[in-house]
């Protein structure tokens, strides 16, 4: 690219001439002087979209970047929504932040703008996990909350997660109302940056104690933990907020043999020991596994920067540590909880579990076998949180999970919670160790009972304006030309969540899907394979969720069947031609 489009050049000039600070203007001028037209275009070709969950993007100057002005605009829009939604009311919000570079700075800007609009701000004075923010919103009776985080994205990213009164992300119609208020701000001078200090109240460790005192309520295996309290656990916060609460949570549950990965214990937004601070990545857990091998540990736990997601590693039957994916951990957790609840006589017919449309259907099979109600939501924990709020007082939520390593046990919060999840994964390990089994052996038994389900996520990155257009074209191609066969199995059903239809491709009959609209396509084959195509809402990616299954007659056949399923997934991706 050798020149700028007129619309981009005009927006750049508006920033250079507008009420923006000199540092920002100088950064823009440096890009202009170096003819960095691609970067300038990506920075200014659109406004960073405030979606249903908030903002996420790379940091830097420009309307399509995370900076003081995009964060300020988002907060002003959210404040305008709150003031219209709750007229005449004394409104309060909670604000927290993670370990990313500039997170504390953006959090302070957020608090300042809220305070300038006459809104009382409960401001965490130090970094804390996302789930604690969700808890604080509910505990303090706030109308909203904001978490400054970009979750597991690379260090160049930051973000802004907005929450409603119930501690969950906004749902319809309020999500659209907030987005409309943010997009209605056309001039940076509309944003009130000057703080009103008396409207900002700093939160102390008292909130930590309140949260930690409540997380044990859903525990069902205290006796097993007492007997297995010395379970060897290795924990890494991967330079994030997990260090503030996960060790304390494990201690509260009664675990006495927890080893912290010291190289990753200090919060650091540069994430110096990993390429990506993502517990889905094997590389991110390499130091944890090395420590586990050194001390002969039983379990490895690692949380992402804002501690709402957790990755785990367990020993196989040969003593080697293997990483479990999000579907395996989520299925195991619900398998454990339903078995433990059943053994304690706690299942009354009013309980339920939840997962999403791209999460393993093994969870549904487990729930069905225990006669526990199973609900399926759209992708994203906001939908699980919304369902918990909807059913509060009517049914008992046991647990929920999604393939992207996010889980929740009990209804203390309304978002995925790695702090609670770490404690219950450890409880699960103690429960099965107390019965002479490992988590790996338990997983094989689960597969033998319900079927061997295997899932794989394939993500394709398409950056910038051209990338977004390519992803859109790819989805349209799949809508128009539905694959006939995937992995050697005939496609018999197409679910189009954007159109809200489920089509029987054999009899050419369609029916309505009972879920909100979302840009997701799902192909279901005659062998029960499920392949979902979904553009990411937070990253420049299109994601393909491949789920295949087979029978596991004997645990000794696990490796053979595992290889067969891998080959099926490889064949599916070839058939998709992406």
Per-residue b or e along 106-126, where b marks 16 or more CB atoms closer than 10 Å to that residue's CB: bbbbbbbbbbbbebbbbbbee
Main-chain phi, psi angles of 491, to 5 degrees: -80, 120
What's the rounded Cα separation, in Å, for the pair 70 and 76?
A: 10
Residue 189 burial class via C-beta count within 10 angstroms: exposed 0-12, middle 13-18, buried 19 and up: exposed
Q: How much of the chain is helix, strand and coil, in % rounded to 5?
A: 40, 20, 35
Residue 489 burial class via C-beta count within 10 angstroms: exposed 0-12, middle 13-18, buried 19 and up: buried
What's the rounded Cα separation, in Å, for the pair 502 and 513?
A: 6
Q: Which helix (H) or strand (E) holds 494?
A: strand 489-496
What's the rounded Cα separation, in Å, for the pair 406 and 311?
A: 9
What's the rounded Cα separation, in Å, for the pair 386 and 388?
A: 5
Tally: H helices and E strands in the chain: 18, 23
Options 151, 489, 518, 547, the catalytic residue? 151
Q: Where are the alpha helices (DSSP H) in 89-163?
A: 103-116, 130-140
Q: Measured between alpha carbons, how far is residue 544 from residues 216, 447, 569, 574, 577 in Å?
A: 36, 23, 11, 12, 12
Structural Rg of the chain based on CA atoms: 24
What's the rounded Cα separation, in Å, for the pair 323 and 219?
A: 25
Could you please report the per-residue DSSP string of 218-279?
T---HHHHHHTTT--EEEE-TTSGGGGTHHHHHHHHT---EEE-GGGTS--TT-TT-SS--T
99 is catalytic: no
The DSSP secondary-structure symbol of 214 reads: H
Main-chain phi, psi angles of 486, to 5 degrees: -135, 125
User: Are 449 and 339 in contact, with CB atoms under 8 Å apart?
Assistant: no
What's the rounded Cα separation, in Å, for the pair 542 and 470?
A: 10
Structure tokens, 137:
């919103």
Strands 509-512 and 521-525: unpaired
Instruction: Give helix 439-450 / helix 362-369 axis angle, nearest 10°.
Output: 80
Q: Which residues are catalytic?
A: 151
């Amino acid at each position: 690219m050798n020149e700028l489009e007129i619309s981009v050049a005009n927006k750049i000039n508006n920033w250079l001439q507008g009420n923006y600070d000199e540092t920002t203007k100088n950064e823009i001028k440096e890009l202009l002087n170096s003819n960095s037209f691609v970067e300038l275009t990506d920075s200014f070709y659109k406004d960073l979209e405030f979606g249903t969950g908030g903002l996420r993007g790379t940091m830097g100057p420009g309307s399509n970047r995370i900076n003081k002005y995009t964060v300020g605009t988002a907060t002003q829009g959210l404040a305008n929504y709150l003031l219209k939604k709750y007229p005449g009311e004394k409104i309060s919000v909670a604000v927290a932040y993670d370990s990313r570079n500039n997170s504390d700075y953006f959090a302070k800007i957020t608090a300042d703008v809220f305070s300038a609009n006459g809104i009382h701000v409960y401001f965490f004075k130090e970094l804390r996990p996302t789930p604690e923010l969700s808890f604080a919103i509910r505990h303090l009776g706030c109308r909203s909350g904001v978490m400054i985080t970009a979750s597991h994205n690379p260090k160049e990213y930051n973000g802004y997660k907005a929450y409603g009164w119930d501690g969950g992300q906004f749902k319809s119609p309020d999500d659209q109302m907030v987005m409309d208020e943010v997009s209605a701000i056309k001039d940076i001078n509309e944003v009130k940056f000057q703080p009103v200090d008396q409207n900002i109240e700093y939160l102390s460790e008292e909130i930590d104690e309140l949260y930690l005192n409540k997380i044990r309520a859903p525990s069902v295996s205290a006796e097993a933990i007492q007997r297995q309290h010395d379970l060897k656990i290795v924990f890494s916060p991967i330079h994030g907020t997990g260090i503030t609460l996960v060790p304390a949570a494990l201690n509260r549950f009664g675990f006495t043999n927890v080893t912290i990965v010291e190289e990753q214990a200090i919060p650091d937004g540069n994430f110096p020991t990993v390429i990506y601070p993502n517990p889905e990545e094997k590389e991110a857990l390499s130091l944890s596994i090395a420590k586990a091998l050194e001390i002969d540990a039983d379990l490895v736990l690692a949380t992402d920067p804002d501690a709402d997601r957790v990755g785990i590693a367990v020993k196989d039957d040969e003593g080697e540590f293997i990483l479990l994916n999000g579907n395996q951990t989520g299925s195991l957790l619900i398998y454990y909880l339903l078995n433990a609840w059943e053994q304690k006589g706690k299942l009354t017919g009013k309980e339920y579990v939840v997962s999403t449309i791209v999460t393993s259907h093994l969870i549904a099979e487990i729930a069905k076998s225990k006669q526990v109600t199973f609900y399926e939501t759209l992708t994203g924990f906001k939908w699980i949180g919304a369902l918990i709020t909807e059913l509060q007082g009517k049914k008992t939520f046991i647990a929920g999970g999604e393939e992207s390593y996010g889980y929740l046990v009990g209804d203390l919060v309304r978002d995925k919670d790695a702090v609670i999840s770490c404690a219950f994964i450890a409880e699960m390990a103690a429960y099965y160790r107390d019965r002479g089994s490992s988590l790996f052996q338990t997983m094989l038994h689960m597969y033998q009972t319900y079927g061997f389900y295997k899932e794989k996520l394939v993500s394709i990155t398409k950056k910038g304006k051209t990338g977004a257009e390519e992803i859109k074209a790819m989805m349209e191609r799949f809508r128009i030309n539905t694959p006939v066969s995937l992995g050697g199995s005939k496609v018999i059903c197409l679910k189009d969540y954007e159109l809200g239809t489920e089509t029987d491709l054999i009899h050419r009959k369609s029916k309505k899907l009972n879920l909100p609209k979302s840009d997701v396509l799902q192909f279901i084959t005659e062998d029960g394979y499920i392949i979902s195509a979904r553009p990411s809402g937070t990253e420049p990616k299109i994601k393909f969720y491949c789920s295949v299954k087979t029978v596991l007659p004997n645990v000794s056949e696990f490796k053979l069947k595992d290889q067969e399923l891998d080959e099926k997934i490889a064949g599916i991706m070839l058939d998709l031609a992406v």
